[in-house]
Amino acid sequence: MRLLIIITVAGLIGTCSAPPSVLEQVLDTGELRVVTRDSPTAYTIGPNGPSGPEYDLVQAFADELGVALVVETVDSVSEIMPILIAGDAHMAAAGLSITESRREFLNFGHPYKSVDVHLIYKLGTGKPRSVEDVLDRSIEVVAGSSHVDLLTSLQKAYPELSWAENADVEFAELLTKVAMDDIDLTVADSPDFNIQRHFYPDLRIALDLEIGDPIAWAFPKGTGNSLLARADEFLIDADRSGMLARVLDRYFGHTRKFDYVGTRNFIRHYESRLPRYRAMFEQAGREWGADWRLLAAIGYQESHWRSQAVSPTGVRGLMMLTQDTADYLSIDDRLDPESSIFGGARYFVRQTERVADTVGEPDRTWMALAAYNVGFNHIKDARMITEWQGGNPDSWLDLRKALPLLSQRKWYTRVPYGYARGWEPVLYVSNIRRYYNILKWLTANEEPPESEVLDESPDSPVLPLSGKPEESA
């Protein structure tokens, strides 16, 4: 009888199987549920659908798993942890810092980037040079953020340190409040600050509170590590393949360089000069299937929106066309702003069309901009050098490393079209990306443009042009 009982129990145990892991559940249901922040540094929805660094990465992860991505967005970082703990999402891809308080409830994967944490003030209000200097000034931070943990740790050494926590704002809004003198100080991660300082050039770093703060995807505790381990494999492979670098460059590459005086001048010229030409840029954008704000950014880089601009090399007009290019475009008067804008738009779209079909957006646009500056044949040379160096010629991130080599004899003597000041198109594209980003921000509350080339897809609308293209603008 005892033997029979043992056999029966063993049989029952043998028929019981462990519950499926989280990864198995994701694969079985065909859905990866992710919570993220509605923020330029994580996830946004624009005229062409969702985008953002976290979205691009987690969408690629879902594609690798062969499942659909289901995204839930929140307005504040404080809403993320309750969603994970409740089991309403498998993971968070929201630019979260790894903190001890979060580790009590969450598991973190492989850090895929790091950020610096700054104390931010406004120029002219007095720069705090130590924590003691901020004890009598108002500080506001996002509730539930890692910045609260950081200030709490500082409070142990400075008991008089105090701050307000706001659960109804995002980091960018607090930076705006500092710029508008609504609060004295806030704490911001370097990506948020680097973006917002282009809109509010009076924002400044008072103190670096932390350097190299790791950022990672988060998973609820008690659910095993199957999905976390697979995500780690994906991110490590993305880093090795260069995909991670391309994603980060796509969204943050234009923020690295900051020109305080240049940014202030741009915003001032947006108000004083652009209104005279805006309708022309908008019409040219509609006619040639380009975002008018990108065309305007080109115009500002070329002439600072001055229709009578003339360079020592002979290029002239608002879009700085050469005489040969003007002849190719059948433009009689390069100093006529309408002719210059429409001609520049047509020429830029022509460069976009000439970029290889294998190049997707936004790399396609950056390469077309570089071609507008240095000539398309030099772009072809740089693509050759990129391949020789083992890079991806369809990646702007790789191509911009090769372009400056066109000024070195050991390289330009090996390519068909020879010497070029290859560092110039790299700076050219970087500047236009900043101007374009500011224009998008300045016009964000207006009706969306009818056409926007930077839709992050390889099928951006461009119109074919006929005739032999000119090689320099």
Burial class (CB in 10 A: 0-12, 13-18, 19+), 115: buried
Element (H, E) at 267: helix 260-272
Q: Which of 289, 314, 320, 290 is nearest to 302 (CA)?
A: 320
Burial class (CB in 10 A: 0-12, 13-18, 19+), 175: buried
Q: Which amino acid is at 308?
A: Q
List CB contacts of 143: < 8 A, sequence separation 6 or more.
76, 78, 165, 166, 167
Contact 463, 453 (CB under 8 A): no
Contact 52, 251 (CB under 8 A): yes
DSSP code, position 436? H
Q: Which two tokens stand for residue 355?
A: 């970029």
Q: Which two tokens stand for residue 63?
A: 């594609």
C-alpha 368/C-alpha 352 separation (Å) is 5
Mind spelling out the 3-state secondary structure of 228-248? HHHHHHHHHHHHHHCHHHHHH
C-alpha 266/C-alpha 147 separation (Å) is 32
Q: Which residue has the tokens 């109804």?
A: 168
- Longest CA span, the chain: 107
Q: Which two tokens stand for residue 307?
A: 């229709």
302 is catalytic: yes
CA 63 remoteness from chain centre: 21
Q: Which amino acid is at 451?
A: S
Which one of the listed residues 302, 361, 452, 470 is annotated catalytic?
302
Burial class (CB in 10 A: 0-12, 13-18, 19+), 161: middle
C-alpha 312/C-alpha 320 separation (Å) is 11
Q: Which residues are catalytic?
A: 302
